[in-house]
Structure formats: C-alpha cells, structure tokens
Amino acid sequence: MTEPRHIEIQVLGDQHGTVLYLGERECSIQRRNQKVIEEAPSPFLDDATRKAMGEQAVALSKAVGYYSAGTVEFIVDANRNFYFLEMNTRLQVEHPVTELITGIDLVEQMIRVASGEKLSFGQDDVKLTGWAMESRLYAEDPYRNFLPSIGRLTRYRPPVEGPQPDGTIVRNDTGVFEGGDISMYYDPMLAKLCTWGPDRLTAIEAMSVALDTFEVEGIGHNLPFLSAVMRHDRFQAGRLTTGFIAEEFPEGFKGVTPNQTEARALAAIAIVINQAVQERAADISGALSNHRRVVGRSWVVTLGEHRFAATFEPRQDGALVTLENGPTLSVASDWTPGRSLARFTVDGAPLGVKVDLVPGNGLRLRLRGIDLVARVRSPRSAELAALMPVKLPPDTSKMLLCPMPGVMTAINVTVGEAVEAGQALASVEAMKMENILRSERTGVVKRIAVAVGESLAVDELILEFE
C-alpha cells in the first residue's frame, strides 16, 4: 500500500435502530503504533470518500447491533481506497476533536443512549464546522528516543482554556496536577491538548501557541516534539502517512534549530531579559550601598551556533535592540524577574517564551520546539569567554547505563562473558513497555552493578566492560 493513512469514523447509535456517523478523524501521526497527534476532519478526504466511509461504518455498526459511541478504523491509501482495520466499541482518547467540530457532547449522548433515549438529531443535522487538533502530552523524553520519564511534576500549568481573543478555542483534558508524581506503572499520557480554529492552519497556529504556553517541569515530556511537528512544512501541507515520524525524524528528535530570523528574535529577547535582571540587581545593590552602578547597554549574545553583538535602548513601550550588521528590533514584554513564562512581541510578532535563569549569565529560552541557552555578556567578558577551554564529557564508552527510570527485569550476561555488538544485555520495564538494552560494541563483561528486581534511575550503572 502506498502512503497509508490511519483514518477513523466516529459513529453514534441508539437502542432504537438509529446509527449516525459524525465525520472522521485523521490519526496518521503515530510512533510505535501509538497515536501522537489527531485532527478532525482529515485534510485528505473528499466529500464522496467521507460519505462512503461513513456509510460503511454505519452498516457495520447496524450489522452487529451496536449502539452508543464507537469508532470504526480504516487504513486509506494514496488513491483514497479504504480498508477496514478494527472497531473500537468505546469512547476513544481523541474524541474531543470530533466534539469541537460537530458541537456534539459524545459523553452526554452515551449517557442518554444508555438510559434508552432516542437520538434527538439525524444524519442531515450533523455538520462539520472548522478544524480541530489534538496533541497527546506524554511523559516521554524525546531527546532520549522517547524513553519513559517519571518523577514529580514540579510545575504543571496548562494554557488558558476556552475561547481565545482571536476566536480560536483551547481545551485540555487531563488528570494530573502540579506536585503529583508520575510513576513507572501507568501509561505515560499526561494530557490531551486540543485547539479549534475556522480552518486547518489557524488550528495549527493555535496549537503552537498553546504548546508554547504549556508549562511542564520535573520530568521529560514531548512538548518540544509536538511543537516541532506543528511547524513542519509537510505536516502543515497535510501530506501525512503513518510513517511520518519515522520518515521525517529518522535519527530521532534532536530539537529544533532556529533559523536566522528566529535566532535574532531570541537574541533580542535575551538582551531585554538580561537588561531587566541587571537593572534589578543594580537597584538592590545601590539601595544597600547608596551607590548604584551603571548598567551598560552593549552586549554580546551567544545562542547555539549564533553570536550577536547588540545594543539596548529603552523605550516607554519596551525597547529597541540593534544587532550588529543586522536589523533594529522593537521588543515589548510583560516579563519580570522570577516569571517562568513571558509573552514577548518582537517587531509586532507575538511569542510565548518559557524563561529560566541558569548560572553564568545564562538564559534558557524555549518556544516552538527550540530549547537553547543564551549567554549574554559584556563585550570584554565575551572576548575572554572565547578563550575558555571546552569541558569534555566523561567517557562512558565502557559502561551500560540505564536510559530511563524503571525496573530491571532481566540480565542476560555474566561477569567474564564476551559479548558482541547488538547482543541483548539486559531488559528494563517502565510504563507498560519492556526495553531491551543491547551492546553497542564487542567486549568482556567486567562487573554487573545491579540485580533483577531493582528499581533504577536514569543513567544508573548497570554493567561495565573491561
């Protein structure tokens, strides 16, 4: 089959023989056969195919005497031929996107049907309005090949729900809370973040903004990966298949590298934040010593591979940041020291940025899948910093470290045993998944540091080679 898509039809029936279809959901963005992003309607189906799939789903439901809400799943090829996959006789995780485009509360209808009521509307009453997106927030670390992550949610602050000033809608279905513990014994899903807009690109932009303003700390999570998918050209064009993630991220997720325009905006934001931090420190020290130091306005920002020399000029409504050999950017913000989330406007473009101060005049800035530490220094400090040697990471080539928190379920080798590259060494179980750890090299096992049944932390030593 060429370019397969996973598209499902939502059905709803009562106990009196009426069964309706409520449009479709596109569920092709998957990893390990687990859905990651869903949307309704599908950007691929035309009216004729939608009607044909819906009628087939209704026919199946009637043939088995099914009532209540259910889902009939199909695989659809590049020519819009569709093939039955399975029927789920329950409410599915992604049902909110159907509710957002139909205005039908599926849970309410299930309760009414269960009590014996007839459906109060017919097939012609079902209208699909606008577009809806759903992103599944998982406790998985995308930078470590999506391995499960556990721990305490030291910060959990979803975006503001309901109608937004631009006419879009944000909905977040969740069951966790700030201060709660995410354990290794359950599914890694934390929330289902949904957005609605009058068209697909508006719904995608609303999702990007919602992801930027969703704060999760304390565990690894896939928020940056979801943001990266939203900004991907192929995703925005609707050219989806079930192999999208494997095809577009074959080496795993390494984060998003800012382009020149984004790097300039982040550099300007870093300078504005640094200026506020420096002025506040000068106010405090000046109050104690009766002598306030003068804060400079010339800075050098390093941001990943980017380096910008710039000047800062305050304005009543924000600031102007002039980049050397570059543009002058107007920056306005509501950020004050201590805030972890700020809304910036850079040359009229609104940006939601997560901000964390790190040692060494560093600022961790996160948005749209970008996660970088900006260093803001005076010109002289930047000149000296360039002379500092780079600290090399420790050599762990002769160690097998636990890549995730979990329980050691098997150790397949013994001390003194010679192993080959690719050989299974041990197994770790976490969040309902067994992960087999294989050797990346040939060698001889020198020491085994753990036993079966032990709970392990991330990067804990399992075994060592000679």
Map out the domains of the chain with their CATH numbers.
5-248 (3.30.470.20), 260-385 (3.30.700.30), 399-465 (2.40.50.100)
End-to-end Cα distance, the chain = 48
Continuous H helices in 64-140: 95-102, 106-114
**pLDDT for 316:** 86
CB-CB contact of 404 with 147 (8 Å): yes
215 is a catalytic site residue: no
**pLDDT for 23:** 97
Continuous H helices in 134-216: 200-212
| Neighbouring C-alpha atoms within 13 Å toward the C-beta of 256 | 23
* Helix orientation angle between 223-230 and 200-212, rounded to the nearest 10 degrees: 150
Mean predicted confidence (pLDDT) in 283-297: 82
Cα–Cα dist 182/217, whole Å: 12
| Neighbouring C-alpha atoms within 13 Å toward the C-beta of 262 | 18
Question: Residue for token digits 């990471």?
Answer: 393
- Burial, 329: exposed, middle or buried (Cβ in 10 Å; 0-12, 13-18, 19+)? buried
DSSP state of 93: T
Cα–Cα dist 24/45, whole Å: 9
Cα–Cα dist 180/182, whole Å: 7
CB-CB contact of 173 with 190 (8 Å): no
Distances (CA, A) of 9 to 84, 159, 185, 242, 412: 11, 29, 32, 17, 45
Residue type, 440: E
- Binned at pLDDT 50, 70 and 90, residue 395 comes out as confident
Question: Residue for token digits 């909905």?
Answer: 171
Percentage of the chain modeled with pLDDT above 70: 100
Handedness of CA 44, 49, 51, 55 (dihedral sign): negative
SS3 256: coil
Which pLDDT tens digit goes with each residue over 99-157? 999 999 999 999 999 999 999 999 999 999 999 999 999 999 999 889 888 899 999 99
Mean predicted confidence (pLDDT) in 451-461: 90
Continuous H helices in 128-259: 200-212, 223-230, 233-236, 244-248
Cα–Cα dist 1/401, whole Å: 40
Show the tokens assigned to 309. Answer: 């020399």
| Neighbouring C-alpha atoms within 13 Å toward the C-beta of 338 | 2
**Count of all residues that appear for the chain in the document:** 466
Give this prediction's pTM. 0.86
- Binned at pLDDT 50, 70 and 90, residue 268 comes out as very high
Backbone dihedral region for residue 385 (phi beyond 0: left; psi -120 to 50: alpha; all else: beta): alpha
**pLDDT for 449:** 94
Continuous H helices in 303-459: 379-385
CB-CB contact of 224 with 217 (8 Å): no
Which pLDDT tens digit goes with each residue over 73-87? 999 999 999 999 999
Distances (CA, A) of 378 to 63, 274, 309, 344, 422: 74, 11, 9, 23, 50
CB-CB contact of 330 with 347 (8 Å): yes
Distances (CA, A) of 51 to 22, 48, 194, 409: 10, 5, 25, 49
Given 3, 8, 39, 86, the catalytic residue: 86
CB-CB contact of 57 with 21 (8 Å): yes
Which pLDDT tens digit goes with each residue over 192-251? 999 999 999 999 999 999 999 999 999 999 999 999 999 999 999 999 999 999 999 999
Handedness of CA 42, 48, 54, 57 (dihedral sign): negative
- Binned at pLDDT 50, 70 and 90, residue 386 comes out as confident
Determine how β-strand 131-138 pairs with β-strand 34-40: antiparallel
